[in-house]
Structure 1
């Protein structure tokens, strides 16, 4: 694929992300998306992605590879700073939430990632078989599995499901609010990058503690202050994200 072709595919992916975030998948119109990216080729979606559904999956793939790379880097940074590498539930929850902050950080000043995730039920584990479709989906999948095992060992199934639903609903709404706030800050103070980064890091820590406390009230261990260092160490290890510009036929490569 030529760099010109990749550039067009990336524009289509990003415009689709914003359209789905605002209008939902049903409301997003491929004709409008192509008009927005400035191409007169009405068959560009079919040519590059195969279908509208595959295009929406391409948005997931575009972000998902980076999300999992950051998740793995963050887990490694946390384990190196925690005694005996014993991670609490709060650590695991933060490992699921922290990649969202990393993506938003690198999508500013106009980020639609959290809204896209919420519109597609992405905060709920098992929403799709993406861990099978994408070989790089392992780190996030492993975190969800570890969270489920930790909760199942402590809570009856009925209580677990009730608390989990409430936590997911709260988490989605909270991410929408912080994404909007960070977009506003990035637009108003374009040179104050660290201000936005600090907001995102603080939010990850506070939200992780809040979600963990609501899930496992009887055995809640708050995150320590050095988690902020782990967040930044993981971001420094990855640097600028290497976004995945794939098509319907090459998610698994």
Structure 2
């Protein structure tokens, strides 16, 4: 983080309570340096905390701080996902699949809208993914219900594919959602007039990747590993 960015974050932290200031500072620094790359001292300074033990007092450990950062915004994202899921009609096929993917993408994409403290949340999530800590393990299960329910419905639309392929595609789709939105966030796309088009294009890409038939190359790979192709 640049010196200017650090000073701005510190000034904003002066008006927040200690716990919130630490969470927002950690979100920004974890996004830039990684979950283990940002020291407690850096986070405390950015949060304008005079007491060096403030993080231990509020959170106890690094893992609990990471969970708090994840929960801080996901507690708003998940209810939005659940509300959108209720509106998805069981039409079947690609139309329903795209609507379900939208429930994954748009509530998280809304976190890219400009905020006073800056936008770092999805970049934090992408960092967590790259450091091999599955995003779904960073928050209480009740904050991921929207994601899981959409995934379950998507599986029902992908019965033309083998189970191994379904699992791989859903995992890849989740990573694509987070990493593409993180790239948009880094470019401050949330303030761009092209933002809606970017997000809808991402939804198109994820949907196409999930629903596409297996290629001949994938069929051959399946046969080599001894897997069985489901009949359409």
User: Deviation at 1:85?
Assistant: 6.7
Of 62, 70, 74, 1:52 maps to 62
* Inter-partner Cα distance in structure 2 for 1:85 and 1:31: 53
Aligned residues: 198
Contact 1:124 1:168 in 2 (8 A): no
User: Deviation at 1:55?
Assistant: 0.5
Distance 1:120 1:88, change over 3 A: same
User: Deviation at 1:59?
Assistant: 0.6
Equivalent position of 1:37 in the other structure: 47
Of 103, 107, 110, 1:95 maps to 103
Distance 1:138 1:167, change over 3 A: closer
- Is the aligned partner of 1:204 residue 2:211? no
Of 101, 124, 146, 2:153 maps to 146
Distance 1:168 1:104, change over 3 A: same
| Mean Cα deviation higher: 141-150 or 54-63 | 141-150
User: Deviation at 1:13?
Assistant: 0.4
* Inter-partner Cα distance in structure 2 for 1:125 and 1:154: 27
* Inter-partner Cα distance in structure 1 for 2:16 and 2:97: 40
* Inter-partner Cα distance in structure 1 for 2:206 and 2:133: 14
Structure possessing the higher radius of gyration over alpha carbons: 2
Partner secondary structure for residue 25 of structure 1: coil
Contact 2:123 2:183 in 1 (8 A): no
Distance 1:203 1:146, change over 3 A: same
Structure 2 counterparts to residues 141-180 of structure 1, below 5 A: 141-151=148-158, 153-180=159-186
* Inter-partner Cα distance in structure 2 for 1:85 and 1:210: 20
* Inter-partner Cα distance in structure 2 for 1:150 and 1:207: 19
Equivalent position of 1:14 in the other structure: 24
* Inter-partner Cα distance in structure 2 for 1:182 and 1:61: 22
RMSD over aligned Cα, in angstroms?
Answer: 3.1
User: Deviation at 1:94?
Assistant: 1.1
What runs of 5+ residues in structure 2 fail to find an aligned partner? 1-13, 215-232
Equivalent position of 2:121 in the other structure: 113
User: Deviation at 1:118?
Assistant: 0.8
User: Deviation at 1:121?
Assistant: 1.9
Equivalent position of 1:26 in the other structure: 36
Partner secondary structure for residue 34 of structure 1: helix
Contact 1:94 1:204 in 2 (8 A): no
User: Deviation at 1:6?
Assistant: 7.0
Distance 1:167 1:108, change over 3 A: farther
User: Deviation at 1:26?
Assistant: 1.1
Contact 1:167 1:215 in 2 (8 A): yes
